[in-house]
Structure 1
Amino acid sequence: MDVREIIARRAAQELRDGEVANLGIGIPTQAVNYLPENIQLIMHTENGAFGFGPRPKYSEVNSDITNAGSEPVTFLPGAACMSLATSLGAMRKGYIDVTILGALEVDQFGNIANWAVKRNGYWWPGIGGAMDLTYGTKRIIATLQHTDKKGNSKIKKKCELPLTGKNCVSTIITEKAVFDVVDKVLVLREVYPGLTVEDIKAITEADFVISENLKEMHL
């Protein structure tokens, strides 16, 4: 199981029965493929649909039915398509219960940066709909790899990249751990099997406390 699948599988477990859930571009879009069998959700995609399901078989792919990352998905009974403007309006107005967003950085105060990196002196790409989601969604789950390619922590004391949303993240999921943000305090809730709290401290820049109910991550 690769790193992206570990994160997507664990993120899917955070979704609750009956919710309207948005999945952001990247790792989050894969969560729909690993939903627990005992929950029913209305899945929303920013590019203009409610009621989509997991990826189809290769032989059943329809290039007109995709998620925000242009990946093929299925439409479930009752699914609805709409304009991008209507979709963004639903995101801003609070009709989405939970969103899973990819992130470049998060920090111990629940800030998230997921849209801009500096390359060759320029900031890019654009912010997209993530800003609307961090403003209008009740519960924000951030997903990202724990460290960058050089081994530097992406779970920061304070985000260094331009913010997408401030003090909005409730849960952070990496391939190494699960954290909750409670009153601007980072709480370590789960660790990947075989890892210890000391292992997590060694790769995490942010300060955190340990949950009384700390347990191994279950996939």
Structure 2
Amino acid sequence: MTRNKFMSADEAVRLIKDHDTVALIGGGGGLVEPTHVFRAVSRRFLSTGYPRNLTVLHALGIGDKKMEGMNHFAREGLVKRVIGGHWVWSPKMQEMARDEKIEAYVLPSGCVMQLYREIGGKRPGLFTHVGLGTFVDPRQQGGKMNRSAQEDLVELVTIGGRELLWYKSFPINVAIIRGSFGDADGNISLDQEAANVDIYAAALAAHNSGGIVIAQVRTAVDLNSLPARSVRVPGAIVDAVVVDPGQQMSYDLPYDPLLSGERRGPITIDPPEPLNVRSLIARRAYRELRDGDVINFGVGIGEGVAKMMAERDEVGRFYQTIEHGTYGGSLLVGLLFGFARSPSAMIDGPSQFDFYSGGGLDTAFLGFGELDQHGDVNVSKLGGLTVGPGGFMDIAQNAKKVVFCGTFDTKGTKAEIASGRIRIQQHGAVRKLVSKVEQITYSGQQALKLGHEALFVTERAVFKLTAEGVVLSEVAPGVDIKSDILDQMGFQPLIPHDPAVMDRALFTDG
């Protein structure tokens, strides 16, 4: 029997029907994003008005914060519901959620990836401790981000005397995935991609739900030419293969074999960041590393710790991971967060999150939007906008130690760092240490219950979570405790009789 699953993007998206539930793949900045197919969906809707009222599901952030990725789906009538792990890559979709033009839900990225596997296995859903005590717990918001979101996607259950969250299964009608090479039978290789993420899991969920799988690739190859171990998605579960000869590794990077792990090269060392508030925080956070730690870095200031590891040629002292399934290498930052040059291993995203949820991480370096008196942290809803935690929740809740890295306040803050001290010249208009966070993305009480450690590093003070409360454990030299710290907080921390002074070497060039 001869098969030919190759078709154009416009032909493939005609397979999507009104009211379908569509699983999308991507990792922000264009990472494994099937952009060519996304554009075709948007093009079809604008020209015909169809498909309509889709439910769109994605684990990681997808887009460029401008026009690509989820922005192609941010059209009234095209989408009625979005269940996303991370939203900042699509300002248009964030606005639609804020304006009640869609039903907006957020679930942790790892839980979405793992839920695909449960759907594919025809199991009732994902039962996990991840999310207890946070905004996805149904005792709080249950992952609902606006008034239009009414359905209960998460339920609290007790199994064997243990409280768990039940992320419920539902059919996936379409999965839009991506690979590097594809043949007429639908076999898909990821050999020249920078991550595996949840590509196979999403395809499995769609196929076993009786749905379809559309795979975008850069290169069409002959039948039987792909080595079996290179095929990450077998043709048996793929329905359409769309070739995009212009497919790039990211929006800006055409192809780099160091990013796909096909070749190894020297660890890339960027020029050292000048001494400023962000690099100061990274310097202090770096001191929490211990030889042999399995570690994770979140987007933002935590990336600075990874840069310092590379600068000091100390990458080999630790086991570095990112939630996309990548180990080792030198991390790219900013819009290319999720890419690693010369990685040592790449596994599937759901398996990486199994490792995280099982407590495999020793230390995680993550950002924070808000911190309150209970040690609760918010990164998922800020200023009324849906942000989503990405992999933050899966990582933060389960790492043995979390070092939260962030500025003390924001919007207009001015500080001078020189001669071993810091002087706050102007306080920010927006407080980040508040009496109660807008939304709980990290539960301090849950962390204490699990016996985990949490440290909050800012440019003017370091705080520590204890059973008694949040303790002001270190103060920066040159800072006035009352006017620069306590008067700028929304709660009163516990203060030791003689809080330690942060090392003056942190505040010195060199």
Give CA deviations for 1:41-62 in whole Å, capped at 9, x if unaligned. Answer: 1111112212234x6xxxxxxx
Instruction: Determine the structure 2 residue equivalent to 1:143.
Output: 405
Is 1:208–2:493 an aligned residue pair?
yes
Q: Is the contact between residue 300 and residue 334 of structure 2 (CA under 8 Å) also seen in structure 1?
A: no
Instruction: Determine the structure 1 residue equivalent to 2:475.
Output: 191
What secondary structure, in the 3-state scheme, does the structure 1 residue paired with 2:282 have? helix
Instruction: Determine the structure 1 residue equivalent to 2:296.
Output: 22
Give the Å deviation of 1:84. 1.7
Give the Å deviation of 1:154. 0.9
Give the Å deviation of 1:7. 1.3
d(CA) in 2 for partners of 1:194 and 1:179? 17
Larger deviation, residues 207-216 vs 84-93: 207-216
Larger deviation, residues 32-41 vs 145-154: 32-41
d(CA) in 2 for partners of 1:192 and 1:143? 15
Give the Å deviation of 1:200. 1.6
Distance 1:69 1:24, change over 3 A: farther
Give CA deviations for 1:20-76 in whole Å, capped at 9, x if unaligned. Answer: 1111111111112224778921111112212234x6xxxxxxxxxx46962464447
d(CA) in 1 for partners of 2:391 and 2:327? 16
Match of 1:171 among 440, 451, 455: 455
Match of 1:34 among 286, 290, 308: 308
Q: Is the contact between residue 379 and residue 387 of structure 2 (CA under 8 Å) also seen in structure 1?
A: no
Give the Å deviation of 1:183. 0.7
Match of 1:45 among 303, 307, 322: 322
Distance 1:22 1:118, change over 3 A: same
Distance 1:107 1:37, change over 3 A: farther
What TM-score, normalized by structure 2, do the two folds share? Answer: 0.37
Bigger proportion of residues as helix: 2
Instruction: Determine the structure 2 residue equivalent to 1:61.
Output: none
What secondary structure, in the 3-state scheme, does the structure 1 residue paired with 2:409 have? coil
Q: Is the contact between residue 47 and residue 67 of structure 1 (CA under 8 Å) also seen in structure 2?
A: no
Is 1:81–2:346 an aligned residue pair?
yes
Structure whose CA Rg is larger: 2
Q: Is the contact between residue 326 and residue 340 of structure 2 (CA under 8 Å) also seen in structure 1?
A: no
Q: Is the contact between residue 156 and residue 206 of structure 1 (CA under 8 Å) also seen in structure 2?
A: yes
Q: Is the contact between residue 103 and residue 114 of structure 1 (CA under 8 Å) also seen in structure 2?
A: yes
d(CA) in 2 for partners of 1:193 and 1:176? 8
Gaps of 5+ in 2: 1-274, 412-427, 448-452
What TM-score, normalized by structure 1, do the two folds share? Answer: 0.81
Is 1:6–2:283 an aligned residue pair?
no
Aligned residue pairs, count: 202
Instruction: Determine the structure 1 residue equivalent to 2:367.
Output: 102
Gaps of 5+ in 1: 56-65
Match of 2:433 among 139, 149, 155: 155
Q: Is the contact between residue 108 and residue 184 of structure 1 (CA under 8 Å) also seen in structure 2?
A: no
d(CA) in 2 for partners of 1:6 and 1:81? 32
What secondary structure, in the 3-state scheme, does the structure 2 residue paired with 1:156 have? coil
Distance 1:135 1:68, change over 3 A: farther
Match of 1:217 among 492, 498, 502: 502
Give the Å deviation of 1:109. 1.5
Give the Å deviation of 1:19. 1.0
Sequence identity of aligned pairs in percent? 27
Q: Is the contact between residue 47 and residue 68 of structure 1 (CA under 8 Å) also seen in structure 2?
A: no
Instruction: Determine the structure 2 residue equivalent to 1:93.
Output: 358
CA-atom RMSD in angstroms? 2.5
Give the Å deviation of 1:114. 1.0
What secondary structure, in the 3-state scheme, does the structure 2 residue paired with 1:100 have? strand
d(CA) in 2 for partners of 1:153 and 1:16? 32
Bigger proportion of residues as strand: 1
